Amino acid sequence: MRIERHPILNFDVKKKVFFTYNGKRVFGNEGDTIASALHALGVRKLSESIEKHRPRGFYCAIGNCASCNMIVNGKPNVRTCVTKLEEGMVVAEQHGKGVLYEKS
């Protein structure tokens, strides 16, 4: 779902940006956040709650909650509602707390 026309706002798409989501090559629009691009593609579950593994999705859209935490380019706990989409990103659902990683 994506707003295509609006009486006041301009939604002109400059270019498509390709990225990988859970091993699948998908696209979003330049200027999208990761969460908004996934939402436009119909993805509603972004992560799970830590203890009960309940689904979490696009909720606050301002980086205050942890509902949109995902693994981005190997880094856990990235708040995808405020992280801009970039060409070639690797994005995956996060289950539980996420595992710390060491940058090589």
Could you please report the per-residue DSSP string of 27-92?
A: EEETT-BHHHHHHHTT----EE-TTT--EE-S--SSS-SSTTEEEETTEEEEETTSSBP-TT-EEE
- Structure confidence at residue 83 as a pLDDT band (50, 70, 90): very high
Residue 6, domain member (yes or no): no
Residue 53 sits in a domain whose CATH number is 3.10.20.30
Residue 58's pLDDT is what?
73
State pTM to two decimals. Answer: 0.78
Residue 51, domain member (yes or no): yes
Domain that holds residue 78: 17-92
Residue 2, domain member (yes or no): no
What's the structural domain count of the chain? 1
**pLDDT tens track for 11-58:** 666 789 999 999 999 999 888 899 989 998 988 888 777 777 777 777
Q: Are 65 and 77 in contact (CB under 8 A)?
A: no
Residue 104's pLDDT is what?
52
Closest CA relative to residue 27, chosen from 69, 68, 86: 86
